[in-house]
């Protein structure tokens, strides 16, 4: 999965400390859509170029996926979301996982099956609860030498590509390019409210 | 999101090579606690009353306060109106136009004082009011007779109904009303004038009835 995402909008003005505090006090988020839609909570304030370039293996191939995972799960309750693909029954759907975290072992030494496991939330809250999924340890692993069609081609042939899921691209196709990509892609906070369906989305919907 | 590129691994020759497997764990209380802790950190207002409920309660309280104030203002206004002196048009709203026409006036302020008194008294007090006004009139300089007319309930009724002609020239149920000028037939007018003349003749001068009589 390439790291090409919609171009971010204009840089939002940085709220002052008093203004930010006031917004935090007045915004009573009870849904993740509201939480991610709150621009005052966005850690990058609408400027995603730096984070996208850092996670793009085409420009920053030396960044270890283990380090990225540790950084992601160590951020805490900070708006952070990723897109990933999952194939089930020969159908590929796109999911939004967010708020990755590392299970914290108990100080009293009680061993649980979740020790050192990483988790993430899947989609929006439904009736006060949210689905948790296990975040694989190689979620940020880089896949090199991946042949991919261009964005323009996919947009132009959306019906063909979407119906076929993720069809393999033969080597003889000259319009494909070889890229490096990670298995999950950073999703800017401002786009998260549009992709919070726990059931995921088809390629056409995305 | 239409510009996201989905790539394929040529070596694997299968699209699932880039897909991730999302496993839903069977959560126990340890994992539940972990998730709830994170959830409360991100959404601290999750389990608090929703804004819509708070808004509904606030709106309901505002509506109750508004209604209470409206009722209080209406009650105060009603009490102030009850305490304020009433105008003849308030009590005789349906006949005031006829009265204006008969008296050839346009403003109820110019109505005779008895109408203002009637507007501010009960029905039982109407006879007493007219009696007092009649006595006051006979004591005034404009009086044409020193004797106050005899007021009867029928006289009140006739005045309120603008019936200035008695049913009979000799009908004393309407009281003795020498100050009333009947606009009925010539016979009625003649009878009333005669009645007034006789009344004045008996009540004044040398022919007046004395206590000794």
Dig out the tokens for A115 from the structure.
């020790």
Residue A4 domain-assigned (yes or no): no
Q: What residues of chain B lie within 8 A of the CB of A132, using their CB? A: 24-25, 27, 31, 35
Which candidate in B38, B47, B55 is best for mutational testing of the A interface (most A CBs within 10 A)?
B38
- Tally of structural domains, chain A: 1
User: Chain B residue with minimal CA distance to A132?
Assistant: B24
Tens-level pLDDT at each residue, chain B (213 residues): 333 344 443 343 344 567 888 888 888 888 898 898 898 888 888 777 666 777 788 888 989 999 999 999 999 999 988 888 888 988 888 888 888 988 888 888 888 888 999 998 988 899 999 999 888 888 888 776 677 777 888 888 888 888 776 655 555 555 555 555 555 677 777 777 787 777 777 766 666 556 565
pLDDT of residue A143: 84
Residue A74 lies inside a defined structural domain of this protein: yes
In sequence order, the β-bridge partners of residue A201 are: A94
**Least Cα separation, residue B8 to chain A (angstroms):** 6
Query: How do strand A201-202 and strand A91-102 relate by DSSP bridges?
Result: antiparallel
DSSP state of B15: G
On whether residue A111 sits in a domain, the answer given is yes
- Spatial contact of A51 and A8, defined as CB atoms under 8 Å apart: no
* B35 interaction partners in chain A (CB closer than 8 Å): 119, 121, 130, 132
Q: In this structure, is residue A95 part of a structural domain?
A: yes
- Selected for mutation to probe chain A from B17, B43, B49, B54 (highest A CB count within 10 Å) is B43
What pLDDT, in 10s, does the model give residues A64-113?
A: 889 999 999 988 888 999 999 888 777 788 999 999 999 988 888 888 88
Looking at CA atoms only, how far is residue A197 from chain B in angstroms? 15
Range of the domain at A35: 17-21+29-140+183-202
Please indicate whether, in this complex, the C-beta atoms of B5 and A2 are within 8 angstroms of each other.
Answer: yes
A60 domain-assigned? yes
Question: Does pTM top 0.80 for this prediction?
Answer: no
Contact residues on chain B for A134, CB-CB shorter than 8 A: 22-25
Q: Which of B180, B117, B78, B2 is nearest to A6 (CA)?
A: B2
Question: What's the token pair of residue B48?
Answer: 């608090």
What is the rounded CA–CA span in Å between residue B60 and residue B53? 10
Q: Quote the minimal CA–CA distance from A187 to chain B in Å.
A: 10
Pair of tokens at residue A122? 């899947």
Examine residue A37 and state whether it is found in any structural domain, yes or no.
yes
pLDDT in tens, B62-79: 899 999 999 999 999 999
Residue A43 falls inside a structural domain: yes
Give the distance from residue A76's alpha carbon to the nearest chain B alpha carbon, in angstroms.
8
Whether residue A92 contacts residue A166, with contact meaning beta carbons closer than 8 Å, is answered with: yes
Q: Is residue A158 part of a domain?
A: no
Our CA-based measurement puts residue B82 at a distance from the nearest CA of chain A, in whole angstroms, of 50
Q: Do A29 and B1 touch (CB under 8 A)?
A: no
Between the alpha carbon of residue A110 and those of residues B30, B202, B207, the distances in Å are 10, 126, 130
Cβ of A85 within 8 Å of Cβ of B38? The answer is no
Tell me which residue in A95, A146, A171 faces B9 most closely, judged by beta carbons: A146
């Amino acid at each position: 999965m390439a790291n090409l995402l919609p171009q971010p909008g204009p840089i939002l003005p940085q709220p002052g400390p008093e203004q930010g505090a006031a917004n935090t006090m007045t915004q009573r988020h009870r849904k993740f859509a509201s939480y991610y839609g709150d621009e005052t909570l966005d850690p990058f304030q609408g400027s995603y170029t730096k984070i996208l370039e850092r996670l793009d293996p085409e420009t920053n191939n030396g960044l270890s996926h283990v380090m990225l995972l540790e950084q992601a799960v160590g951020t805490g309750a900070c708006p952070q979301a990723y897109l990933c693909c999952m194939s089930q029954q020969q159908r590929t759907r796109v999911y939004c996982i967010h708020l990755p975290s590392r299970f914290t072992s108990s100080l009293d030494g009680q061993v649980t099956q979740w020790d050192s496991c990483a988790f993430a939330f899947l989609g929006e809250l439904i009736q006060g609860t949210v689905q948790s999924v296990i975040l694989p340890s190689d979620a940020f692993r880089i896949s090199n030498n991946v042949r991919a069609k261009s964005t323009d081609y996919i947009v132009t042939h959306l019906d063909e590509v979407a119906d076929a899921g993720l069809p393999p691209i033969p080597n003889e196709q000259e319009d494909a390019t070889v890229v490096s990509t990670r298995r999950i892609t950073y999703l800017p906070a401002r786009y998260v409210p549009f992709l919070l369906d726990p059931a995921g989305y088809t390629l056409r919907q995305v | 999101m239409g510009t996201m590129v989905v790539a394929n691994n040529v070596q694997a020759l299968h699209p699932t090579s880039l897909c991730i497997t999302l496993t839903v764990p069977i959560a126990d209380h340890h994992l539940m606690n972990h998730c709830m802790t994170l959830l409360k950190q991100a959404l601290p207002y999750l389990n608090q009353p929703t804004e819509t409920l708070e808004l509904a309660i606030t709106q309901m309280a505002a509506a109750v306060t508004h209604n209470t104030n409206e009722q209080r203002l209406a009650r105060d206004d009603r009490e102030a109106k009850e305490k304020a002196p009433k105008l003849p048009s308030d009590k005789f709203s349906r006949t005031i136009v006829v009265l204006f026409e008969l008296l050839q006036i346009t403003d109820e302020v110019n109505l005779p004082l008895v109408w203002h008194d009637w507007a501010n008294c009960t029905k039982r007090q109407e006879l007493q009011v007219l009696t007092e006004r009649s006595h006051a009139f006979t004591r005034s300089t404009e009086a044409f007779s020193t004797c106050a007319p005899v007021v009867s309930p029928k006289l009140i009724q006739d005045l309120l109904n603008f019936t200035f002609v008695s049913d009979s020239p000799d009908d004393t149920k309407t009281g003795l009303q020498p100050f009333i000028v009947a606009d009925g037939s010539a016979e009625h007018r003649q009878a009333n004038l005669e009645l007034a003349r006789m009344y004045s003749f008996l009540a004044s001068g040398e022919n007046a009835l004395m206590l000794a009589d």
